[in-house]
């Protein structure tokens, strides 16, 4: 997605977490239980129609996240192949909403960064990234609005949490390629 009109910003909540000892493992177990309830090897094989078969509300929410996130990943790949960068925004926001509501891995700090980012007109989309419970939000922004975004996030986050987030400007690059002989 190298396109100079857009930039990626990682906004770090500065909340540290231990995934191994957190509820992250519980989410994995809940997904495995949902797949087992559906007699499937993995939730990647589940469809929206399968959700009605889950009687446990927690399993249903976890499965709904996995199913919808898989669909969003495919839609994002299509969007990128068409170079329709702005179409990533709604996918990113929907992903964050699902991670917050169905997978329950967001935090007040992450939600705040995503909401603050959405207030900046140059922002295309934002979502939490990583395992959740703290960490970073990733934000797609028009390059011309990067400074405004950082200022807005810094001020709003500082006001709410009495500390500033850290920012990392990142860019996409081609993946690894096979070396020629």
The pLDDT tens digits for 83-136 are 999 999 999 999 999 999 999 999 999 999 999 999 999 999 999 998 777 789
Q: How far apart are CA 172 and CA 175, in angstroms?
A: 9
19 or 163, which is more confident?
Answer: 163
Q: pTM for the whole thing?
A: 0.90
CATH number at residue 86: 3.30.70.890
pLDDT at 20: 46
Residue 1 lies in a domain: no
Residue 94 lies in a domain: yes
pLDDT at 19: 57
Q: Where in the sequence is the domain holding 53, given as residue range(s)?
A: 6-170
CB 174 within 8 A of CB 42: no
The b-or-e profile of 159-178 (16+ CB within 10 A means b, else e) is: eebeeebebeeeeeeeeeee
Residue 176 lies in a domain: no
Residue 50 lies in a domain: yes
Rounded to 5 degrees, what are φ and ψ at 102? -95, -35
Q: How far apart are CA 112 and CA 120, in angstroms?
A: 13
pLDDT at 22: 66
The mean pLDDT of 12-16, rounded to a whole number, is: 88
Beta strand 166-170 with 6-12: parallel, antiparallel or unpaired? antiparallel
Residue 180 lies in a domain: no
The pLDDT tens digits for 28-53 are 999 999 999 999 999 999 999 999 99
Residue 38 lies in a domain: yes
Q: How many Å separate Cα 1 from the centre of its chain?
A: 17
Question: What's the whole-number average pLDDT of the chain?
Answer: 92
pLDDT at 130: 82
Query: What is the number of domains present in the chain?
Result: 1
Give the C-alpha distances (Å, rounded to integers) separating 28 from 72, 137, 158: 20, 21, 33
Residue 131 lies in a domain: yes
Residue 112 lies in a domain: yes
The pLDDT tens digits for 52-89 are 999 999 999 999 999 999 999 999 999 999 999 999 99
């Amino acid at each position: 997605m190298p396109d100079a009109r857009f930039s990626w910003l990682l906004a770090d909540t500065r909340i540290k977490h231990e995934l191994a000892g957190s509820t992250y493992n519980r989410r994995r177990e809940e997904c495995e239980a949902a797949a087992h309830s559906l007699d499937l090897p993995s939730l990647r094989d589940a469809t929206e129609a399968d959700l009605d078969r889950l009687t446990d509300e927690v399993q249903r929410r976890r499965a709904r996240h996995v199913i919808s996130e898989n669909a969003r990943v495919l839609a994002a790949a299509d969007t990128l192949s068409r170079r329709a960068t702005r179409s990533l925004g709604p996918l990113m926001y929907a992903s964050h909403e699902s991670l917050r509501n169905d997978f329950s891995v967001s935090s007040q700090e992450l939600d705040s960064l995503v909401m603050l980012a959405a207030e900046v007109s140059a922002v295309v989309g934002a979502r939490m990234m990583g395992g959740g419970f703290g960490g970073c939000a990733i934000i797609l922004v028009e390059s011309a609005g990067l400074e405004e975004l950082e200022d807005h996030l810094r001020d709003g986050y500082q006001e709410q949490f009495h500390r500033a987030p850290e920012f990392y400007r990142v860019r996409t690059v081609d993946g690894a390629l096979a070396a020629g002989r």
